[in-house]
Amino acid sequence: MLESWIQRVLRHRVPILAIWLAITVVGLMAAANLNQYLTTSLNVPGSQSEKANTLLAQHFGENTEGTFTVIYKYTNATEAQLGDIKRSLEKASEVIPGSHIGAQKSLVGTLYTNVTTPFSLVKAAAYTSTLRAALVEQGLVGAQITGPPAIEHDVTPVLARDLQRGQIVAIVLALLLLLLLLGSTWAIFIPLIFATASVAFSLGLIYLLAQRFLMVLYIPNIVELIGLGLAIDYSLLMVHRYRRELLNNVDHDVAIMRMMQTAGRTVVLSGLTVSVALSSLLLVPVPFVRSLGVAGVLTPLVSVIAALTLQPVLLSLLGERVFSDGFQGILGKKDPVLGIWARLARWVVPRAKSVCAFSLIVLLLAASLVFKLEITPSSLTAIPANLESGAVLNDITKKIGPGVITPNEIVINLGSPNLATSQQVDAARLALATSLSTSPQVFMVASGKQSDYVDTTGQFIRLYVVGKDAIGDKKTRELVRNIRTQIQVAKGFPTGTQIYLGGAPAQGVDLIDAILGSLPAIIFIVLLIAFLLLARAFRSIVLPIKAIFMDLISISIAFSILVAVFKYGFASTLLGTYQLDQIEAWVLIFMFAVLFGLSMDYEIFLVSRMREAKDAGASNNEAIVTGIANTSGVVTGAAIILVGALSGFVFGHFAGLQELGIGLAVGIIIDATIIRGLLLPSSMVLFGRWNWWLPQRIAVLLKVKASPLELPEARLERR
């Protein structure tokens, strides 16, 4: 089936190239307009916070994610002057349709207030510049704004600049590494063309999906940098195999066919494995995380499509020019069995027990800090201070407290209209507010009979509970749980009264609960599907179990390093990272899925080549050396290229992306070196023939096919 497909592809080279050119151009055009449809909303459908936020929008015209915080510093202002300032703030807020200005508070020479809007985060962010201009027009020249919409507005161009810088770094590093690996040949441009087309296609699909579904602001960065590295990896593996086949003095088309039978199948399986791992994110009932899952599934799948269509066409056009007459590169014409990786494998084989034990001890020690890992819904304290919203946030945090930016909001549905101002409700509301204000974690509680706190029907009332700590702080999460406990036992309200807690802190707690609640199912499903895919690919049940174990080790080390860098400040000055007590929750689950998929990626590259050698009649140890010798160079090179692409995250301005970049880079480096160079071959030596054991019943169940090298002459050439 694959052979007939490749024959058709090679017969239609020109139309396929034209289609990919059109896809690339359209995809890049769509990517240029993608950011306006993206958001950082952390809404959790079906949660108590969503119910509260929905009621706030319906009855108070407020979207909690669309609330600005305005501050204005003054010196020695009289009461009359303060009154003028407050009226100017109210006038300025009128430029946002349907907005409401909250109670103005004055503290330490600073006046601050919240401007609530009925808009979603993305739509409210579009009014940021308008509100800033209105404040100046009202004479409040020193006024500054922050809050989720202002932060969204300010960080979007910074993310774009970070992405551009990351792209430049990634492309330059990729070119240098491809030159080092492949030599001074036109072949170095094939992986870059392949990657550009794949990334453009992925972003075009994301653009279409963003018209109907919530998509996260980080997605372009993730798709472009991870997609770039992954696509180059796949293309490099195939170019390398194509060159090895040409050295057997076969025709170009035959070399392409054999490349697709081997490396092509490996890339398809690898892409499917990465996609399956990331599809597990769709199980999390949070649009933010699901959108990451969608992007994660599309990126490797598009690379697989390119591998089945674009790659063979590009190689057929290049032909013998994949080799250089000058510098041959590390992956040049030299027999790989004479290379450094072959020597390493032959060194490991007779020392398998000691190498395996030493590797395990080192790896497990490196993973020990994983037990110190803590998570947070977001890291508002890590907003760049050179942005107005970030500077204001820092100022408020120092003078007033970070809780002002993201207050808790209690919504009370009394069940019937015109009850809000009754003595019974007033007394119950006051008792609840008094009880809440006694908490040491509460900065203030705001409530009353004014229109800010009572809807027009008199059926709904609300209270603001402003905490002292940031949204991601453990104390804030404790406060949310304490408030929910208190509102459940609140007394004095009419029978049938329903009370909900909303606001960003409650939303953050619901987000963490949703992610942690989904994590066991995600881990189980990912491990099960990975086991089945690898068992079928390797025709073994031992190899998939070992692969999963090794993947979990590399993932644990990656999280352990995140704790060391962000919590304990290890190398933070060198890397320019923030110092945070917790890792962002979305990073936890996304990094697990990506690292698991990528680790499987490298496992498939290596073990598939070992399986191929075994099918050709090699002994267990010979197959190990052959697999390591023929693939470790390209796998390590591919890993370095991917790490280079991820450096764009590390040197950016946002904590979550820094965490993702460092974690993925560490996991990939550990996996491609210590695990694949030492632990994998030594463990395979120890397991001996059991590596290739597959009971007949399981073989029938998995519908295992013969080796892709069906032709006897193909086997002979590879002996």
The enclosing domain of 90 has a CATH number of 3.30.70.3090
Decide which of 307, 330, 353 is a domain's last residue. Answer: 330
Decide which of 146, 176, 197 is a domain's last residue. Answer: 146
Residue 369 lies in a domain: no
583 and 692 part of one domain: yes
Residue 490 lies in a domain: yes
207 and 295 part of one domain: yes
Helix H or strand E segment including 249: none
Number of domains in the chain: 4
Average pLDDT, the chain: 86
pLDDT over threshold 70, residue 184:
no
The percentage of the chain sitting over the pLDDT mark of 70, rounded to a whole number, equals 94
pLDDT band at 131 (very low <50, low <70, confident <90, very high): very high
12 and 79 part of one domain: no
Pairing of strands 68-73, 110-116: antiparallel
Q: What's the rounded Cα separation, in Å, for the pair 123 and 220? A: 19
233 and 91 part of one domain: no
* Predicted pLDDT at 329: 63
The enclosing domain of 170 has a CATH number of 1.20.1640.10
Residue ranges in 539-577 assigned as alpha helix (H)? 542-562, 572-575
Contact 629, 342 (CB under 8 A): yes
pLDDT over threshold 60, residue 718:
no
pLDDT over threshold 80, residue 108:
no
* Predicted pLDDT at 381: 60
What is the arithmetic mean of pLDDT over 499-518? Answer: 92
* Predicted pLDDT at 711: 40
452 and 432 part of one domain: yes
Residue 347 lies in a domain: no
If one compares 228 and 196, the residue with the highest pLDDT of the two is 196
What is the arithmetic mean of pLDDT over 361-389? Answer: 86
326 and 423 part of one domain: no
593 and 631 part of one domain: yes
pLDDT band at 715 (very low <50, low <70, confident <90, very high): very low
Give every CB contact of residue 87 below 8 A, 6+ residues apart in sequence.
none
* Predicted pLDDT at 708: 46
543 and 677 part of one domain: yes
Residue 121 lies in a domain: yes
First-to-last C-alpha distance (Å) of the chain:
26
179 and 261 part of one domain: yes
170 and 136 part of one domain: no
Q: Which pLDDT tens digit goes with each residue over 443-453?
A: 889 888 877 78
Contact 601, 642 (CB under 8 A): no
Q: Which pLDDT tens digit goes with each residue over 549-592?
A: 999 999 999 999 999 998 888 887 777 777 788 888 889 998 99
pLDDT over threshold 90, residue 161:
no
Contact 396, 388 (CB under 8 A): no
* Predicted pLDDT at 304: 94
* Predicted pLDDT at 667: 92
If one compares 532 and 710, the residue with the highest pLDDT of the two is 532
The Cβ of residue 689 has, within 10 Å, a number of other Cβ atoms equal to 10
Residue 38 lies in a domain: no
Decide which of 263, 298, 330 is a domain's last residue. Answer: 330
Give every CB contact of residue 191 below 8 A, 6+ residues apart in sequence.
174, 178, 231, 232, 235, 236, 239
Residue 628 lies in a domain: yes
What is the arithmetic mean of pLDDT over 142-151? Answer: 89
pLDDT band at 306 (very low <50, low <70, confident <90, very high): very high
The enclosing domain of 692 has a CATH number of 1.20.1640
* Predicted pLDDT at 118: 87
Residue 52 lies in a domain: no
If one compares 218 and 711, the residue with the highest pLDDT of the two is 218
Contact 212, 636 (CB under 8 A): no
Residue 46 lies in a domain: no
pLDDT over threshold 90, residue 136:
yes
pLDDT over threshold 50, residue 164:
yes
pLDDT band at 1 (very low <50, low <70, confident <90, very high): low
Q: Which pLDDT tens digit goes with each residue over 17-60?
A: 999 999 999 999 999 888 888 887 888 888 999 999 889 888 88
Q: Which pLDDT tens digit goes with each residue over 307-350?
A: 999 999 999 888 777 776 656 666 655 555 667 888 888 999 99
Give every CB contact of residue 125 below 8 A, 6+ residues apart in sequence.
149, 150, 152, 153, 156
Q: Which residue segment(s) compose the domain that 114 sits in? A: 68-146
What is the arithmetic mean of pLDDT over 7-22? Answer: 93
250 and 179 part of one domain: yes
* Predicted pLDDT at 299: 93
Least confident of 221-225, 269-273, 384-388, 710-714: 710-714
Q: Which pLDDT tens digit goes with each residue over 661-685?
A: 899 999 999 988 899 889 999 999 9
The enclosing domain of 489 has a CATH number of 3.30.70.1440
115 and 182 part of one domain: no
